[in-house]
Amino acid sequence: MEKFAGIDWASAEHALCVVDGTGERLRERLVNHSEAGIAALCRELVSLEVERVAIERPDGILVDRLLEAGLTVIAVHPNQAKAARERYSVARGKSDRFDAFVLAELARTDAHRLQAISPDSDETKALRALTRTREDLVGVRVELANQLRAQLEAFWPGALIFADIDSPISLAFLARYPSPADARGLGPKRMEAFLARHRYCGRRSPEELLERMRSAPAGRAGEIEAEARRAAVLGLVAALKPIVTEIAELTSQIRGALAAHPDGAIFQPLFRNAKTAICPATLIAELGDARSRYPSDAALAADAGMSPVALESGKRRAATFRRACNKRLRVAVATLADSTRHWHPWAREVYRRARKRGQDHPHAIRTLGRAWLRIIWRCWQDGVPYDPALHGNFRKLQHMGG
């Protein structure tokens, strides 16, 4: 008789449940998240000849080890697992052991609806680690930059003279002049020397920057408060500097990893600037290597959040924003759509027509993103780069324009 397993993943301890073909529980226990625990778990499942293992995450050390042991692993979305609990419990109880049982039952009864995990290549995993880490650091940078701006606006808005508060030259300026008292003797010559030392490439002269600084509202912080805010500015600048440096380093590594990836050539032609790396790298990292993961462009559009969710009941029909999706993939596709509408004639026309139909900007971007995903899916499935000469709607638009 076939056997199926469900694992409720946790950081320290995993709940395991094994059921037979009738749903009878054969084994339930907790597994330590340690080398010995994971190794014993893999040996146990292999010895029991478990047909499928269901788990609520598609990656991680545990998933890698299960796949390495030759087991078929299916990833169950948390929303699917949550919805399935009511099939097995009227009281709506919840425990790790019960969740493991629900996952095992899904592996037994719903495998035809759930796709088995296909391991990605080392190159794709590396690209995913780099892009996701960079995204996390960018989020931290934005948060710290907002805190720094709030501090300056509270007692010294005159320091906000550069376009980006987290740019290297802005951080260098704030490290040298963290308060109005520190900048009291700052004149045109000193400003010019500072700009030259930090290779300022902006269009404003030292006199213009000084005028902007002095024309800003003057704060009224007392001596003690001003000293406290000065310390806060220095602390935030000290925290931001290494993060900005590491983001730049990760961006450089992503460019190298993208150039070395087999799928890099497929996505690069979609971007006008050949130096663009983050968006195509994110597309590759989030799509993965297994073409069977998205059997149709509609499946890809759903996971990328570019297609709406239909709500139909009786005479009521509506389409709502899709929230359950791969958020990173959605941002990458939206970035692609937003950039191409400025230079690609076909993309510009798709966006223009969407706006003409009354769609707001975000909705029109999703409409364009959905259109691009039809092309991206075909290129990705065939392993060929995007070629405008083979883009039928683009050629039709050119013919109409001519």
Do 183 and 213 form a contact (C-beta atoms < 8 A)? yes
Indicate whether 329 and 391 sit together in one domain: yes
Domain count, the chain: 3
Q: Which of 94-98, 230-234, 257-261, 333-337 has the lowest mean pLDDT?
A: 94-98
User: Which secondary structure element, helix H or strand E, spans residue 30, and what is its range?
Assistant: strand 25-32
pLDDT at 79: 86
pLDDT at 274: 76
Do 57 and 64 form a contact (C-beta atoms < 8 A)? no
Q: What is the DSSP string of 66-132?
A: HHHTT--EEE--HHHHHHHHHHH-SS----HHHHHHHHHHHHHH-GGGSPBP-PPPHHHHHHHHHHH
Question: Model confidence over 293-316: pLDDT tens digits?
Answer: 999 999 999 999 999 988 887 778
Model confidence at 349, pLDDT cuts 50, 70, 90, reads: very high
Indicate whether 343 and 292 sit together in one domain: yes
Using the 3D structure, point to which of 90, 113, 136 is the last residue of a domain: 113
Distance of CA 342 to the CA centre of its chain: 23
Question: Model confidence over 46-63: pLDDT tens digits?
Answer: 999 999 999 998 889 999
User: Which secondary structure element, helix H or strand E, spans residue 212, and what is its range?
Assistant: helix 206-215
- Report whether pLDDT(36) > 90: yes
Domain of residue 56, CATH code: 3.30.420.10
Q: Which of 164-178, 274-288, 366-380, 381-395 has the lowest mean pLDDT?
A: 381-395
Helical residues (DSSP H) of 261-360, grouped into ranges: 264-267, 278-287, 297-303, 327-340, 345-356
Domain of residue 205, CATH code: 1.10.287
Model confidence at 320, pLDDT cuts 50, 70, 90, reads: confident
Residue 313 lies in a domain: yes
Indicate whether 21 and 68 sit together in one domain: yes
pLDDT at 401: 60
Q: Which of 118-122, 224-228, 395-399 has the lowest mean pLDDT?
A: 395-399
Residues of the domain holding 61: 3-113
Q: Which residues pair with 15 in a beta bridge?
A: 8, 30
Return all residues near 295 (Cβ < 8 A) that are at least 6 apart: none
Residue 69 lies in a domain: yes
Model confidence at 162, pLDDT cuts 50, 70, 90, reads: very high
Neighbours of 402 (CB within 10 A): 5
Closest CA to 96 of 167, 10, 178: 10
DSSP count for the chain of H helices, then E strands: 16, 7
Average pLDDT, the chain: 92
**In the predicted model, what is the mean pLDDT of residues 321-328?**
90
Model confidence at 91, pLDDT cuts 50, 70, 90, reads: low
